[in-house]
Amino acid sequence: MDYSKIKISLLLFSGIIALGTLGYVIVDHMTIYDAFYMTIITISTVGFSEIRPLSPGGRAITIFIIVTGISLGTYTLGLLVRIFVEGELQFYLGRRKLRKDIKDLENHYIVCGFGRIGRIICEELAASGIAFVVIEMDADKVEALEKHKFLYLIMDATVEETLHQAGIMAAKGLVTAVRSDANNVFITLTAKGLRPDIFVLSRTSDINNESKLLRAGASRVVAPYQLGGRRMAQVLKTPTVIDFIDTALMNTSLDLAIEEALISPNSELAGKSLLESNIRRDFGIIMIAIKKPSSKMIFNPLPTEKLEGGDVAVVIGKREELERLRHKLE
């Protein structure tokens, strides 16, 4: 809809009212109020009688107002109705498409809360092409969500129906990043009640509440303030290490990344040692660590360390080579 048309139309319509009022004042010497009243009843064609007999000049003004005012008034009203109908229709169709897109999601993440932490999580997921849907109670966040073209629900994440609408039964995991630790606990309990096997990453504002969230069923708990404090301390103690990590994780221009890849039992590399796998030679990739199914973490594995099905390899290298390696491992 071109809103400039309605602006011009309203401006012209106001101009006709002003000219009509001024014309009656000058030609028939009416008061401003009587002239304005005469102009309005003429444009609206309500059929009221004239305030007083009009002179030939006053009748000419009346003809002008009827011809231009009624035509322009009808056109303006039509534009206003069109804007209203199209706006309502677009809103309805937009909401319908949004819910359909959410319903079609599979293997996605549900992000509860679109505050400072939630927004960063969403931006990182979007940058990596990972599907997700946001649940947020604050309707004021809709503009920002639509600006980023994120899928969202303006609902209460502590309610089971909300999580069902977000596709929890087909989701890969859930992130609860609302400000209140009590709500994070409640969302975690609700999610685990619906899907006991779902991965839940929870935020906590107070590290003392970590144990409560874990007991509620959270798979992992993150305390942003504590992490931020530790990172600032590391910048002071080991700035070069932090620079290296930032380069590896954040600088996309270098095409360098630290990734993890699950080793499938059917992979041709399963059962081979690092030396036999030739990962360094064939892909130019460095294996930093191996996480065993028992959750045991082997850092800087030796060349004789065997790769087994179910292991998760933590590697660093070029993104293109990492993708090739992922296909070979999985």
Residue found under tokens 């935020």: 203
Q: In whole angstroms, what is the distance from residue 164 CA to residue 198 CA?
A: 13
Domain assignment present for residue 38? The answer is yes
Q: Which domain holds residue 275?
A: 254-329
Q: pLDDT digit string (tens) for 273-297?
A: 888 888 888 888 888 899 998 888 9
pLDDT at 254: 62
The predicted pLDDT at position 47 comes to: 64
Pairing of β 173-176 and β 312-318: unpaired
- Contact between 200 and 163 under an 8 Å Cβ cutoff? The reply is no
pLDDT above 70 (res 230): yes
Q: What is the pLDDT of residues 135-174, one digit of tens each?
A: 999 989 988 998 998 999 999 999 999 999 999 999 999 9
Give the range among 92-96, 268-272, 273-277, 314-318 with minimum mean pLDDT. 92-96
Residue 255: pLDDT over 80:
no
Q: Would you tell me how many other CB atoms lie within 10 Å of the CB of residue 180? A: 11
In a domain, 20, yes or no: yes
Q: How far apart are CA 217 and CA 222, in angstroms?
A: 14
Query: Do 116 and 18 share a structural domain?
Result: no
Does the structure show a pLDDT above 60 at 323? Answer: yes
Q: Cβ neighbours of residue 61 under 8 Å, at least 6 residues apart?
A: 20, 23, 24, 27
136 with 223, same domain: the answer is yes
pLDDT of residue 109: 97
Name the token pair of 79: 């534009």
| Residue at a domain's end among 100, 122, 141 | 100
pLDDT at residue 184, rounded to an integer = 95
Q: Look at residue 220 in the predicted model and tell me its pLDDT.
A: 94
Could you tell me what percent of the chain has a pLDDT over 70? 92
Q: Is the dihedral of CA 295, 298, 301, 305 positive or negative?
A: negative
> Residue 302's domain is classified under what CATH number?
3.30.70.1450
Domain count, the chain: 3
Look up the CATH number of the domain holding residue 170. Answer: 3.40.50.720
Mean pLDDT value across residues 69-74: 78
Mean pLDDT estimate for the chain: 86
- 55 and 135 share one domain: no
Which pLDDT does position 259 carry in this prediction? 83
15-67 pLDDT, tens digit per residue, is 888 888 898 889 888 888 888 888 888 887 776 767 777 888 888 888 888 88
Predicted confidence (pLDDT) at residue 269 exceeds the cutoff of 60: yes
199-224 residue pLDDT tens:
999 999 998 999 999 999 999 999 99
**The pLDDT value given to residue 87:** 54
Q: How confident is the model at residue 83 (pLDDT cuts 50, 70, 90)?
A: low
Give φ, ψ of 56 to 5 degrees.
-55, -40
297: part of which helix (H) or strand (E)? Answer: strand 297-299
Note the pLDDT of residue 51: 72
Residue 85 has pLDDT above 70, yes or no: no
Burial 33-71 (b: 16+ CB within 10 A, else e): ebbbbbbbbbbeeeeeeeeeebeeebeebbeebeebbee
Task: Say what the pLDDT of residue 125 is.
Answer: 94
The confidence score (pLDDT) of residue 138 equals 92
* pTM listed for this prediction: 0.62
Residues 285, 315 contacting (CB under 8 angstroms)? yes
Is pLDDT of 244 > 80?
no
Residue 240 within any structural domain of the chain:
no
Among 85, 100, 115, which residue terminates a domain?
A: 100
Distance CA 128, CA 143 (A): 22
Cβ atoms of 223 and 214 within 8 Å: the answer is: no
Task: Kindly indicate the confidence band of residue 233, based on its pLDDT and cuts at 50, 70 and 90.
Answer: very high
